[in-house]
Amino acid sequence: MGADSGPVPFPANVELLRRFLTHRDEIVESIEAVLNAQRKPMAYLQDHARLSRDFEACFLARTAATAGHRLRGHLEEAHWAAGFRPRPVSDLHNDLIHPAEMMIRAFYCWQQTRWPGRNGRLHYAHTLFNLYVLRWLQFLSMRLWDEDPNGEGPSSATERLSEIQAVLDALWRSSPAGQPALVRDARWLVPLAQSLITDELAPYFEVAWHVAETLPEADALEIQKAHVRLIGGHLTSQIRYYCSKDSVPIHDPSVLLRTRASNALDFALLVQGLVALLRAYDRALQSGEEPMRLRLAGAIGQGISADPELFLNRIDLLRAYTMIEHVFLDADGGYSPTGHRHCKLLQEYGALMDRLIRPLRDDFPRFRPVDGRCSPYGVIFGLPTHLIEHMALKAVEHDAETRFSLEDVFEDDVLGDGDRSAAKLAWVNGWRNLPHIAPQVRRLYDYPHPFAEEVYGRMESELERRGGSKTGRLLIVSSDDPQTDANVSAIPELPARCFASSDRQIVAAHQAEPSDRAELLAGRREGHFLVSYETPGGWVALKKDLLTEVLGAGRDARMVGLPRDAAQVLRLMAAGLVIPGNAADPASLPSSIENPGPGD
């Protein structure tokens, strides 16, 4: 990993971070001088690049770290080169926590209220110091598996993770009172570093493999548990956003279709993480380790909370929704190594869920949201890194809550500690309770207890379901071997709305809905389609919406004229849901198949 920009010298980065901590007081003094900017022009107060240079100079000048800028740049570029370069997104800060961004936000807050004196600026300078080191550690957490170019320092991923934890511990020990310990567990830095919106998807599965195969089980499990919780919270927040934006209830079909079709990466990563959690839950169940079992049950619940029907009772459809054509398939018409691993984990996920559904159902009431307390189901955020931004900006106030860290956001109140949970609720609600934010805006982001109850209610309903759901089949009739049997012809063809195309001729023939070429290829890259292929006049794609609207509704459908190569891709992408028209006896085709669902 990071081969495109060369291995990162891990020991040199750790040594430099320790030097920063040794010179913390001098560096913070320099940062305070940068924050003393009330007489600077507005252009300076909003200049991210200039503020970033001035801020970083505080570290490098005070520590005589002439190689510091090169190390930091090399580390950051290695992360981008590994496939995690953030994509520009309109109206969204899509970057890891950045001190310059948080300076701009603090400047705006102070302009709307009053500029703090020296003590107030020093207080926030310490917060910015912590953010800088934390950002550096996030990048470094993704270099656990690099080869050391000099053959020095810790050689294993485990040893490197321990080094990062030691620096993180030292960071919080060096912080003065009144500073929030934003992240305490270094293992949470790994999923945090992957929490941005990027164009490349394959690197996420490479990291997942490294975590599962190279780290001790306890470390791997904590990273996987953190990742499942962060993704689950992000997806439920997305549902909340769509419901509020369109003024529709949580069970509205438009919300279901939108979230299912657009989250192939998150769904696939959830399945892979959930397999590890379910294995550990099974072991805790067998050994009688109740605290461990409940912690795992809570994390599993958070993982499936965004779509409990899909993750509990429609696993046949879940498989197809998680498939990403260019990641899981190779150029030879088969599964890639990453695809083979994913399919194996999907199969194991179904078996584990089928076996463990009863004890999960028994444990689940422990996580019911309680009014006046904080449930992870009601914590709303955009990207996981935005949670760090909320906590950091709140630190402009001297009396900000400092007992809690990122890990506490997703902690379930299984012990019934009402006072702690109520304090955590006040903490979460307080993130946006700042003097420059209008009261009506704050209310929009208040902790939504009714929404948390709805999320829980959907999960409770799916856990209690009995019996199976009918799932239709997709019949492929090859373009060079059209099927004329009456039984096959009686199966309705897929409607044009299931297809998107940039080929004007295909659209004019009412065989697909129109789509801009760039938009269609972007959707292909993000896994929105079951299959896509190029035509002389553009591209054609089969939308994943048909999984819910057609097959999920128990209806069979027929697809005629699909090119041979595309048909093979579709069979792999929707295995178990697709049968070829020229490879089966039409008279024996069932009108639908039954998904047995989890056992009682």
Residue 556 structure tokens: 């069979």
Between 512 and 414, the more confident residue is 512
Per-residue pLDDT of 427-450, as tens digits, reads: 999 888 888 788 877 777 789 999
Looking at residue 287, what is its pLDDT?
97
For the chain, domain boundaries: 3-193, 215-367, 376-464, 469-595
Q: State the chain's mean pLDDT as an integer.
A: 90
Per-residue pLDDT of 130-158, as tens digits, reads: 999 999 999 999 999 998 666 555 669 99
Residue 321 φ then ψ, to 5°: -65, -30
Among the listed residues 140, 167, 174, the one whose alpha carbon sits nearest the alpha carbon of residue 28: 174
- Residue located via tokens 């994943």: 544
pLDDT tier at 590, thresholds 50, 70, 90: very low
In this predicted structure, the answer to whether residue 532 has a pLDDT above a threshold of 60 is yes
| pLDDT (average), residues 522-539 | 96
pLDDT tier at 560, thresholds 50, 70, 90: confident
In this predicted structure, the answer to whether residue 584 has a pLDDT above a threshold of 70 is no
Residue 521 φ then ψ, to 5°: -70, -30
SS3 6: coil
Query: What does R_g of the chain's alpha carbons equal in angstroms?
Result: 26
Looking at residue 4, what is its pLDDT?
43
Looking at residue 398, what is its pLDDT?
79
Which residues neighbour 254 within 8 Å (Cβ) at sequence distance 6 or greater? 242, 246, 248
Classify strands 593-595 and 469-471 as parallel, antiparallel or unpaired: antiparallel
Distance of CA 9 to the CA centre of its chain: 28
C-alpha distances in Å from residue 273, one per residue of 160, 225, 285, 329, 404: 22, 7, 18, 21, 25
CA–CA separation, 109 vs 343, rounded Å?
A: 49
Looking at residue 432, what is its pLDDT?
82
In this predicted structure, the answer to whether residue 23 has a pLDDT above a threshold of 60 is yes
Phi-psi group of 300: left, alpha or beta (phi > 0 → left; psi -120 to 50 → alpha; rest → beta): alpha
| pLDDT (average), residues 575-597 | 56
Looking at residue 255, what is its pLDDT?
95
Name the DSSP letter for residue 437.
S
Per-residue pLDDT of 289-329, as tens digits, reads: 999 999 999 999 999 999 999 999 999 999 999 999 999 99
pLDDT tier at 591, thresholds 50, 70, 90: very low
Looking at residue 580, what is its pLDDT?
64
CA–CA separation, 141 vs 164, rounded Å?
A: 7
Looking at residue 154, what is its pLDDT?
61
Residue 319 structure tokens: 């498989």
Looking at residue 66, what is its pLDDT?
62
Beta strands in 44-196 (DSSP E): none
- pTM for this prediction: 0.93
SS3 577: coil
pLDDT tier at 413, thresholds 50, 70, 90: confident
In this predicted structure, the answer to whether residue 86 has a pLDDT above a threshold of 60 is yes
Looking at residue 151, what is its pLDDT?
57
Looking at residue 229, what is its pLDDT?
98
In this predicted structure, the answer to whether residue 600 has a pLDDT above a threshold of 60 is no
CA–CA separation, 204 vs 191, rounded Å?
A: 10
Residue 441 structure tokens: 């805006």
pLDDT tier at 173, thresholds 50, 70, 90: very high
Neighbours of 422 (CB within 10 A): 15
The helix (run of H) or strand (run of E) holding residue 228 is helix 217-246
Which residues neighbour 416 within 8 Å (Cβ) at sequence distance 6 or greater? none
Per-residue pLDDT of 187-227, as tens digits, reads: 999 999 999 999 999 999 999 999 999 999 999 999 999 99
Residue 474 φ then ψ, to 5°: -105, 120
Helices marked H in 288-324? 290-304, 308, 315-322
| pLDDT (average), residues 37-41 | 95
Per-residue pLDDT of 41-61, as tens digits, reads: 999 999 999 999 999 999 988
CA–CA separation, 560 vs 482, rounded Å?
A: 7
Looking at residue 593, what is its pLDDT?
45
Please give the torsion angle defined by the CA atoms of residues 336, 340, 342 and 344, in that order, rounded to the nearest 10 degrees.
180
In this predicted structure, the answer to whether residue 483 has a pLDDT above a threshold of 60 is no
Query: Are the beta carbons of 431 and 409 closer than 8 angstroms?
Result: no
